[in-house]
Amino acid sequence: MSNPICPELAVIHAGVPAGRDLILGWRVAAALCLWLGVISAIGFLVASAPRGLDGTDEAAWVLCAANPWESPGWGIFFGFALHPIWNLGLNHLAGFRVAGILVLLAAAFVFSGTFWKVLAGFWRHHASHYSWWILPTLLAHVS
């Protein structure tokens, strides 16, 4: 790396990796940390799925999802919206929780693709610099 204006800079920067390599290293480290957080959070949620009901709110959601036709007036909409997830969970509380996690992760995955397209539309020349953090960040927020 030669600098015709200040040759001393070539000596100072001789042992330092190029800025692009350093930035790539930080991106990889940050992406690994984000994915580790996502995997840990999802693993914790899936491992704790078989536990009992947390309280009356969760019991109400389960009752509405299990049988939306017999739900009280406030739960009719939520019951019919959650009933397919209850069926995906094989009519079991732990399966219902895991199916809910999978549905939320799928929604975050779809949203991240849309967000990436919007981001690429606004910052065409900078979009590749920010692509690595979108999906793991959204998944971490969902979990």
Residues 91-124 have pLDDT tens digits of 998 999 899 889 988 888 888 777 777 777 766 6
Q: For residue 57, which amino acid is it? A: D
The CA distance from 98 to 100, in Å, is: 5
Q: Token pair of 19, please?
A: 């800025």
- Ranking 57-61, 95-99, 127-131 by mean pLDDT, the lowest is 127-131
User: Distance between CA atoms of 71 and 4, rounded to whole angstroms?
Assistant: 78
Q: What does the mean pLDDT of the chain come to?
A: 76
- pLDDT bin (cut points 50, 70, 90) of residue 55 is low
Taking a C-beta distance cutoff of 8 angstroms, is the pair 70, 108 a contact?
A: no
For the chain, give the percent of residues with pLDDT over 90: 9
Residue 115's pLDDT is what? 75
Least confident of 1-10, 43-52, 58-67, 82-91: 1-10
In the numeric block, which tokens belong to residue 73? 């007036």
Give the Cα separation of 92 and 84 in Å (integer): 12
| Residue 43 or 8, more confident | 43
